[in-house]
Amino acid sequence: RGQLLCHLNENRLYVKRVRVALKCNMEKRKGKAGKGNKKNRFRFESFNERIGNIKIDVVHRVGQVSETPEDRETFFYESLQKWQELNCTHHFGAFYQEVRGITQLLTQLVHHKDAIIRSLVKHLQVKDSLAYEPLLDLVVQLARDLHGDLYPHFTSLFPHLVALSNVHDPHVIQCVFNTLEYLFKFLWRYMVVDIVAVYNLYSQLLVGSQKPHIRRFATESFGFLIRKVKDQESFFRVVFRSLDSSPELSEGVGHLLFEVCKGVDTKFHSCSVKVLPLLLSLMGDAHLPVQEVLKALTIMLELMAEHTRREHASFLWDCLLSHTHHLHSQWQRCGTPEEASQLKWMLHLVGTLVSWRNGDRISKGEQVISTLQDMITDTGLPDDVMGVATRVVASLLLGRLSALSEAHPLLMGVVEDVFKRTDKAGVVVEFCMELALKYVRFTEDILPRCVDYCNALCRNDDIIVSSVLLLLARLCMLYNPAPSGNHGDEKKEVTFGLRLDGLNREAIHGDGCPISYLEAVLLKALLWSGKEEQLCHCWAALICVQYASPISAAMLQSVTELYTSLGAMVTNLGSTPNRDVKDKLLFVRAQAMVVLITGLGTRELLSSIPWGSVVDMLRLHPTSLPLLVSSYVYLQKVSLLEDNSVLTCEELVCLLPLLQLNLSSPSSKVRLYTLKILCQFPQLQLLTSADVSSEENEGPRGPVRVLSNALDAEQHFADLSSYRDRLLALQRLKYFSGSFQRLPDVYREVAIRYLIGNLYLNLKLMWQPVLDIICSYATESNIDFFWSVFGDYLSSSSDLATGGVWLAAGLHPVIQEAPEHAYSLPSLLSFSLSRSHADEIGQPDHANVRQLLWQCLGNVPEVAEPRSRIMVPLAIKYVQEEYFRGEDQMVVTQNLRNNESGDVRGTGDEEAIVGDESLMELEAVVMAADDAPDIKAIGGGVASHGNEQRRVCATGKGKRELTKTLLVILETFSKFKNPRAFYRQEELWQLYVKLLTHSDPDVQKLTLACLMTSKPPYLVPYKDNLERLLEDNTFREELMNFCPESECSVVSPDHWKQLLPLLLRVLYGRLQRQGGGGGHNAGGKVGVAIRRGAVLRFLGSCGSHEVGEFIKLILVPFQSLLELPPGTRYKVDPDVVVPLRKQQGFLHLLSHLLTTLGLKLESFLDTLLPLLLHILSSSVQLLEQRQLIEAFYVNSVKQLRQLAMNRLIETFSLFPDYNYTVYHDYIFSAAVWPQLPRLPQECVQHPTQLMKLVYTWCQHASLFHLLAEWTPQSPSLLYHVYSCLSTPGVSEEVCGYVMEMSLSLLNNGRRKEEEE
């Protein structure tokens, strides 16, 4: 025993030592791995990453290729045995069993090659096979064995290889293209003989619709074969000729040509020396599609530029430049249009390589410049060729080459040659504009030459003169942008000037003084004849004159005359409806005024432009921003005079009433320049205590600082970085009774108007502080004054929010067009006009401002409540004319006709295919009905035929904004104390009652709060209960307190009759809600189902009267159908249909009512059954004339028919003893006859709704008489039912249905006999 214990201890020690050693080794390995290889080698790779890592260039793979197999007689059998061990899948096993006995010997392989290839093709066609890789490898080995004997079968193998290239497995894709390249490698001697047929077969992989990686792999594999072609010129002609019939091949052909020329690393293949010149020579072939060939070569050149580097690009430049010289020489000799076109396309290719990465691939800059100089100096070169050449020159200037000291003088020489071409004015103008936008040295290198060139051009005709004005005006606008309205913009230094003193003075002015041709053109353009078409020339000339140096007296005289004539024209127009013409006149006149301000002295300015004329124009057009800007510049110039009669307090008193409306303008520019104008004048003094009645108003006398405080606030931009500074400045406008009472009367409205204008700021953080400052003016002593200003804005906000006259506020739509795209003077003038009016906030949000104004009233209800004659009509107008028209629950009809779009949003949810009804079960109540019985009278409008405007529902953000505004209005009304004294109080009460059915719980809560303000005795005791009823968490528990049969009911019997209509409307709104929970943390569809079940169970506990009231709410959208006499068939019109979503919602809700209420609905069948048949009949009629309705709605109508049939079946099952005699014919015309002839064909796999309806009739003896119905055109019902048994392929389910019907008929007949 002792020896055994010692032996065990030794073993334990040994095991312990081994474990310690192993642990140390593991820690060392982990440490080394952590130090040397921190990156995870087994990282997940996406599909695109795996595709990018694929390499299929088998030609350059290193490794010795054996000509004979090592162990077997054929490569095919050797590979077959290898894969038989590596791939044990069922797919490969089946192939192995087919070919294993006929591939051991080469003679067998040759003899049975057809069978082997057929077997390969068959197994390659297996979808999602696990043997793709071995099968593709066997195709390669078969090519190694058979060589030329396989080529006749290549055309049968290729389509199946192409099909495999579209799988979503990168490994299979790699195997496919490796297989193709190996086939090219082993069969190229046979393929090059028939290269055209191979290309036609392979081109399907090059089309633009192919995936990019497929196209890349295809070009990489096919490029090897093209290098082996001997007659490459003929082959390339065939390739380019194929682009004529298949232009989508252009991109793929470009990639293919690049792969032919591509070499290893960043070099090119040796065949490129022959291929590239050949391709360039084919570009001018008249028998080839020029544009497609040019596109392919451009793509090829771009890929080559991406592939190579500058040190290896000399070969490209040698080819391009030598061919360009050759084409230029041919053009000089022949001068044909074909030669010019070839030269233009060649220059286009040169430009592609020049502009690549800002000239990074230019290795022979001097040769390129020399070639372009030869082109530009050629006087006979056409305009289009010259245009391409100048664009290449511009690319050189914009690239890296121009930064080199040795290349810059050469480029300037080319630029000099460009400006010598006065016969190519349009080309030179575009050259200047392209450089003006991007060239950093434009003012030093290009601008002086441009002005001299314009002076030289002005000798020619009017078309060139227009080009000169356009060029100079665009340059002036580019380098001297108009002020944006932000502070400090008017102090920007001029960065561009037209120096006129250095020009040649060869023209003669009317007074005999020599002037330059450019000055003569400007003077001529300033002579306005009164035509609108000439305004753009006058404006362009004014822009040039403004930045010209020096400005001659003749120019100033012409500008003065133009200013006077424009002012007279604006005055004569008056209130013309053509606003565009007036805006252009004001804009040009303001530009003329700025020119005069710039060129005239102060006293000369006052004599030429009297201040009275400026005031008269401001009186006519106070919101014109160009007029405001020019008036401010005018006052700045006038302020330099120490003694002037313009800047006085009296003038301020006259001007302030004219411009104070601008202080609330949505445009920050209008507000800013209005304040700047007003602040130029000396301000009035604060009133002393002797001038006011209150002693608390005593204080030091000084100038009024309201306008300066407002200007200080406006000059702080409202963004996240500076809005706090703006708020601090606005706080100085807060109302203080002492200082406000001392204000002169002319200032009293300034602060409120300016604060309301700040509500247009597109920054939510500003809104509430501004509202608080506005509310500070609603004090007891100031209420009347506050309402006199605020009430006007509240009334006008509705018109502005509904798309009213927002242009009258001095705003214009923003034209999203940059000045570099304005290629004519009229378009440039239009752009400048729109840019001058465009505000940084874009189109003003009047709807949001209206919400804020109502929210402000909610903060001061004591101000609003006594003025119900203004408040109530505005609220009712909003709900009736905006909210009800924009809410999809309130829309009455829908247009399904295919030549017009439908009127109802939301039918996009109706595309579900006819099938299981449970898919839409949980959306039942949401789409059920309209809001209230008489919403149609309030909301207006049923869509009808003719030219009546149909109502369109708000969508997305617009719908949310409508609801948000409604909530703000309701919240304001919920704070009032005595609504019984309101104007139109009864109408307002009815509106509250209707809004109780809203699906939004927030609307219901605020509506209930509005109702509570009247303190009705039957409602006030249950306020807390109703509020808890609107909460998701307490809804079910609180609903039990309203159950009339419950012992814990909180409703007094005396209040029940008056409370019931309101309670049902609340429950109906809760039933319509799509989201939310149902209590006990149940949300989503489960919560909706729980809430719906609770409401329906509550109805089940109520009496017939309560159920009837609830059903009336459901049937509101179908009032037009219910008005038809009993049994009358409804004839549907696709133009006017009850919205499909409402019909579907009603049918879903009806199913739950039948399930929950059961026999309680029997007394309402006289109403529900006709409506159900109307819906079924309308869906059948729409499907019969489906060519008249939008295809988008067909599936929805099919689903509607299925739902209606299901409800009809449930009705017959639940009420078999009901008297259906009145509706007998209607039932068959809507539900039976239209579908009966197709019953045997449709009941093959599953019973249709018609079969289920007949099955239901067979279950009840009281309905047997319906089975005997027939028409002369159709046999009896049972005939068609039993015909289903003889239909080929009928399922057991259908046969079982028919047998059960037969058994039911027999059992009921036997039971009747036994009873007798």
Mean pLDDT (whole number) for 1065-1086: 72
Taking CA atoms, 1220 is separated from 108, 572, 675, 1264, 1308, in Å, by 82, 78, 79, 12, 20
DSSP three-state, residue 1082: strand
Mean pLDDT (whole number) for 703-708: 89
Q: What does residue 1137 show for φ and ψ, rounded to 5 degrees?
A: -125, 140
Mean pLDDT (whole number) for 1143-1159: 89
More confident residue, 505 or 471: 471
Instruction: Reply yes or no on whether the pLDDT at 1156 is more than 60.
Output: yes
Instruction: Reply yes or no on whether the pLDDT at 636 is more than 50.
Output: yes
Element housing 672 (H / E): helix 668-679
Residues 518, 529: Cα–Cα separation, whole Å: 20
More confident residue, 843 or 1291: 1291
Let me know: does 1030 contact 1008? Beta carbons within 8 Å: yes
Instruction: Reply yes or no on whether the pLDDT at 1103 is more than 90.
Output: no
Residues 216, 228: Cα–Cα separation, whole Å: 20
pLDDT one-digit tens code per residue, 979-1014: 888 889 899 999 999 899 888 889 999 999 999 999
Let me know: does 159 contact 167? Beta carbons within 8 Å: no
pLDDT band for 1202, please (50, 70, 90 cuts). Answer: very high
pLDDT one-digit tens code per residue, 765-803: 999 999 999 999 888 677 888 888 898 998 888 888 876
- Highest mean pLDDT pick, 199-208, 381-390, 772-781: 381-390
Instruction: Reply yes or no on whether the pLDDT at 60 is more than 70.
Output: no
DSSP state of 40: -
Mean pLDDT (whole number) for 877-899: 78
The pLDDT value recorded for residue 400 is 79
| Alpha helices, H only, 43-194 | 47-52, 75-86, 90-99, 106-111, 113-124, 132-146, 154-164, 170-191
Stretch among 149-153, 367-371, 544-548, 954-958 having the lowest mean pLDDT: 954-958
Residues 476, 483: Cα–Cα separation, whole Å: 13
- From the list 228, 230, 287, the residue with the least C-alpha distance to 260 is 228
pLDDT one-digit tens code per residue, 37-50: 455 566 777 777 77
The pLDDT value recorded for residue 644 is 76
Stretch among 207-221, 938-952, 964-978 having the lowest mean pLDDT: 938-952
1208, amino acid identity:
L
Residues 1202, 1211: Cα–Cα separation, whole Å: 14
More confident residue, 812 or 1072: 1072
Instruction: Reply yes or no on whether the pLDDT at 298 is more than 90.
Output: yes
The pLDDT value recorded for residue 903 is 43
1096-1105 own/partner pairs: CB under 8 Å, 24+ apart:
1096/1152, 1096/1153, 1096/1156, 1096/1157, 1097/1156, 1098/1039, 1098/1042, 1098/1043, 1098/1067, 1099/1153, 1099/1156, 1099/1157, 1100/1156, 1100/1157, 1100/1160, 1101/1043, 1101/1044, 1101/1045, 1101/1046, 1102/1043, 1102/1044, 1103/1044, 1104/1160, 1104/1163
pLDDT band for 1037, please (50, 70, 90 cuts). Answer: confident
1299, amino acid identity:
M
Let me know: does 891 contact 951? Beta carbons within 8 Å: yes
The pLDDT value recorded for residue 496 is 57
Instruction: Reply yes or no on whether the pLDDT at 246 is more than 80.
Output: yes
Instruction: Reply yes or no on whether the pLDDT at 294 is more than 90.
Output: yes
pLDDT one-digit tens code per residue, 438-469: 888 888 888 888 888 887 777 766 567 787 88
Residues 1118, 1008: Cα–Cα separation, whole Å: 27
The pLDDT value recorded for residue 1211 is 93
What mean pLDDT value characterizes the chain?
A: 81
Q: Is the pTM of this model over 0.85?
A: no
pLDDT band for 925, please (50, 70, 90 cuts). Answer: very low
- From the list 772, 781, 754, the residue with the least C-alpha distance to 697 is 781
- Highest mean pLDDT pick, 171-185, 808-822, 1199-1213, 1300-1314: 1199-1213
Stretch among 363-367, 908-912, 1229-1233, 1253-1257 having the lowest mean pLDDT: 908-912
Instruction: Reply yes or no on whether the pLDDT at 1020 is more than 60.
Output: yes
Q: 941: exposed, middle or buried (C-beta count within 10 Å: 0-12, 13-18, 19+)? A: middle
The pLDDT value recorded for residue 679 is 93
The pLDDT value recorded for residue 524 is 84
Determine what percent of the chain is predicted with pLDDT higher than 70: 82
The pLDDT value recorded for residue 904 is 42
**Cα 518 → chain centroid:** 47
pLDDT one-digit tens code per residue, 249-277: 999 999 999 999 998 888 999 999 999 99
Residues 440, 422: Cα–Cα separation, whole Å: 25
Residues 953, 905: Cα–Cα separation, whole Å: 6
The pLDDT value recorded for residue 1192 is 84
The pLDDT value recorded for residue 924 is 37
Mean pLDDT (whole number) for 928-950: 34
Q: Which residue has the tokens 């019902």?
A: 1277
**What sign does the CA torsion over 557, 562, 565, 567 have?**
negative
pLDDT one-digit tens code per residue, 1210-1226: 999 999 999 898 888 88
Let me know: does 151 contact 190? Beta carbons within 8 Å: yes
Taking CA atoms, 688 is separated from 732, 740, 749, in Å, by 20, 12, 20
1215, amino acid identity:
F
Mean pLDDT (whole number) for 629-634: 92
The pLDDT value recorded for residue 642 is 76
Taking CA atoms, 633 is separated from 477, 564, 657, 1003, in Å, by 18, 18, 21, 52
Residues 1222, 1106: Cα–Cα separation, whole Å: 27
DSSP three-state, residue 508: strand
Strand partners, 605: none
pLDDT band for 902, please (50, 70, 90 cuts). Answer: very low
Stretch among 52-56, 473-477, 1099-1103, 1130-1134 having the lowest mean pLDDT: 52-56
Stretch among 244-248, 354-358, 957-961, 1065-1069 having the lowest mean pLDDT: 957-961
Taking CA atoms, 47 is separated from 160, 210, 212, 218, in Å, by 23, 17, 13, 18
Mean pLDDT (whole number) for 283-288: 84
The CA-CA-CA angle for residues 1075, 1076, 1082, to 5°, reads 120
Q: Residue 509 contacts by C-beta under 8 Å, 6 or more apart in sequence?
A: 515, 519, 520, 523, 554
pLDDT one-digit tens code per residue, 562-595: 999 988 888 887 655 567 888 888 999 999 999 9
The pLDDT value recorded for residue 965 is 92
Instruction: Reply yes or no on whether the pLDDT at 746 is more than 50.
Output: yes
Q: What does residue 549 show for φ and ψ, rounded to 5 degrees?
A: -150, 120
HEC per residue, 263-332: CCCCCECCCHHHHHHHHHHHCCCCCCCHHHHHHHHHHHHHHHHHHCCHHHCHHHHHHHHHHHHHHHHHHH
pLDDT band for 62, please (50, 70, 90 cuts). Answer: very low
Determine what percent of the chain is predicted with pLDDT higher than 90: 27
Instruction: Reply yes or no on whether the pLDDT at 906 is more than 90.
Output: no
pLDDT band for 116, please (50, 70, 90 cuts). Answer: very high
Stretch among 337-346, 496-505, 1050-1059, 1253-1262 having the lowest mean pLDDT: 496-505
More confident residue, 1071 or 12: 1071
